[in-house]
């Protein structure tokens, strides 16, 4: 494609690096930004930069957060006896949207996948063990494994079950996408 401007070409190239956005869509977005007020583009750029530089991982559960502790870990209203182990932040969002789970989370940051070279040490598994040995050891009664029912997910769940065994906790498994309500409405104490 021939661009009338090198600056537009650069912007199109950058935008088209985003997943699911081809050159045509990128050009449409760039031309849209050119038509809008300049300060709207500035706000967009600022919010993207702020998100990129300031969002961090919760020190406890590794969910994405603006603070050292995410709002879920920092809340006193959550059931401290339950930890739901998930693959990534999107799972936390999906489960939070059901408004049925009142416990805490632990975000692994992926699943064990030998094909993609992801081993247990690449995931937040040691930090889960550290939580169970540390200040939370008194409170936690149950671990819920909400990991996708794929071969990699099963491998991860199996690995976790083995690692969790010495802690003598109740371990439940919930496949992602299953109705969660019934399971999480059962009293846990």
The only residue of 15, 27, 30, 70 in contact with Zn ion, by rule CB under 5 A = 70
Number of residues this chain uses to bind Zn ion (CB under 5 A): 6
Beta strands in 15-93 (DSSP E): 56-57, 64-65, 79-86
61 binds Zn ion (CB under 5 A): yes
Q: What tokens does 53 get?
A: 């530089």
Task: Judge contact between 63 and 85, C-beta under 8 A.
Answer: no
Contact region for Zn ion (CB under 5 A) — 56-64, 76-84, 93-101, 138-146? 56-64
Residue 58 binds Zn ion, judged by CB under 5 A: yes
Rounded to the nearest whole angstrom, what is the least distance from the CB of residue 124 to Zn ion in the complex?
11
Q: Confirm or reject binding of residue 73 to Zn ion (CB under 5 A).
A: yes
Q: In what order do the strands lie in the sheet containing 170-173?
A: 103-107, 79-86, 142-145, 170-173
Alpha-carbon dihedral 161, 163, 167, 173, rounded to 10 degrees: -20
Q: CA nearest 137: which of 178, 182, 80?
A: 80
Q: Is there binding between residue 86 and Zn ion (CB under 5 A)? A: no
Q: Taking CB under 5 A as the rule, does residue 60 contact Zn ion?
A: yes
Piece in contact with Zn ion (CB under 5 A), picked from 26-34, 39-47, 65-73, 173-181: 65-73
Q: Write out the residues near Zn ion by the rule CB under 5 A.
A: 58, 60-61, 63, 70, 73
């Amino acid at each position: 494609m021939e661009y009338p401007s090198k600056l537009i070409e650069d912007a199109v190239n950058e935008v088209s690096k985003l997943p699911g956005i081809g050159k045509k869509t990128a050009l449409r977005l760039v031309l849209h930004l050119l038509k809008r007020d300049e300060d709207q583009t500035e706000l967009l750029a600022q919010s993207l930069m702020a998100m990129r530089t300031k969002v961090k991982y919760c020190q406890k559960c590794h969910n994405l957060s603006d603070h050292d502790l995410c709002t879920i870990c920092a809340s006193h209203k959550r059931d401290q006896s339950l930890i739901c182990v998930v693959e990534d932040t999107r799972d936390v969002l999906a489960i939070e949207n059901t408004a049925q789970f009142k416990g805490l989370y632990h975000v692994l940051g992926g699943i064990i996948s030998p094909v993609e070279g992801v081993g247990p040490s690449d995931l937040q598994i040691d930090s889960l063990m550290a939580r169970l040995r540390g200040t939370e050891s008194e409170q936690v009664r149950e671990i819920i494994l909400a990991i996708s029912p794929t071969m990699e997910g099963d491998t991860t769940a199996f690995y976790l079950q083995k690692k969790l065994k010495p802690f003598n906790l109740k371990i439940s498994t919930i496949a992602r996408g299953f109705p969660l309500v019934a399971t999480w409405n059962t009293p846990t104490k």
